[in-house]
Amino acid sequence: MAPMAASFDTFFCETRAGKHVPRAFFMDLEPTVIDGIRIGKYRSLFHPEQLVSGKEDAANNYARGHYSMGSEIIDLVLERIRKLAKPCGGLQGFLIFRSFGGGTGSGFTSLLMEQLSKHYGRKTKLEFCVYPAPRISTAVVEPYNSVLTTHSTLEHSDCTFMVDNEAVYDICHHQLGIERPSYTSINRLVGQAVSSITASLRFEGPLNVDLIEFQTNLVPYPRIHFPMTAFAPIVSAEKAYHKAFSVSDITTACFEFSNQLVKCDPRLGQYMACCLLYRGDVVPKDVNAAIAAMKSRHSIQFVDWCPTGFKVGINNHPPTMMPGGHLAKVQRAVCMLSNTTAVVDAWARLDHKFDLMYAKKAFLHWYIREGMEEGEFSEAREDLAALERDYEEVGQSLRYDGKNEY
């Protein structure tokens, strides 16, 4: 029981009364969403101090989240985080969940990450970001917010796992047969991927991967830290009884475009690194065979300067599904985190949308009146252009000649 308890305490803190409280902190600049947790089904799980909300929202404006509204609440947020971090026996780092397109997600989070870097130095910061979907947009100024926040957090984030609502919506609709997927359906699917990533921190296993190992194996250069996420099997309860999912099947599924949680086609780029995180009834022999089969495929291209390519994690605990949810309970599952040059397409799409608005200086006055300068926009855009070039450069092959051998 002792090792199990030790793993359990990674994400939960036990009170004197014997209650387990999550080491989690929720924050929004407007009260509606946080109030939903305060009066919701799981309200008894959290300490009231872990739920913080402001009185006025960021109105989809990066500048409000980062400067005017954010600066008023940042000290309180840092104090609450300090209280959560203090009892930790060995603080490894922070998992940060946010969107790129909203005012709080883009503006306030970039301010918070600057402060976390200042106060917690080299502690790992892993992000799970909802990236603006190609066709579905919840705000007109999403491209501005996304470019500004990517620029300002580039040096503060160690690894940013990207998902987008359109990709997850399509998976729920086509693979789970949900006619009109809700945010609950979308969140539950993303939750399965996050659960696979944190499983090795919560349970003992034959091949565990901790927070620092993710970035060590997935990030070849500091700026190239935006892995894509895929999960398999994604199957509804009705179909599960008619299918068998071997280790080879679920590994193959992770490389398919339809299983990516962000709208990018991995076949259009080259892989720099892949992290395969298996859960459930999985043995190393089957994993090795599945990976060997993947390497032999012509459609899966690795950069020539990374000969190994794969990092593997195995945990014996199968995934747990939400009661009444659409996902079927399965014996084994895999989450793939892949750093690929294909993600440059996502940045190119975003930069193009930014350019269309910025060429006309549209909506700029809303940002300037909150304390931003116009120069910050051009600086952020130049940084994103440099990021695109960085991805193109790492995809270029090594050229050998007789004089210059490595």
Question: Rounded CA gap, 386 and 389, in Å?
Answer: 5
Q: Treating both helix axes as pointing N-terminal to C-terminal, what angle do 284-295 and 247-254 enclose, rounded to 10 degrees?
A: 40
Alpha-carbon gap, residue 161 to 227, rounded angstroms: 5
Report the distance separating Cα 240 and Cα 250, nearest Å. 13
Q: Are 149 and 279 in contact (CB under 8 A)?
A: no
Catalytic residue among 30, 114, 166, 213: 213
**Is residue 79 annotated as a catalytic residue, yes or no?**
no
Contacts of the segment 358-366: beta carbons below 8 A, 24+ positions apart? 358/144, 363/140, 363/141, 363/144, 366/61, 366/63, 366/141
Q: How far apart are CA 400 and CA 406, in angstroms?
A: 8
Residues 6+ apart with CB under 8 A from 142: 60, 100, 101, 132, 353
Q: Residue 94: what residue type? A: F
Residues marked active site are found at 213
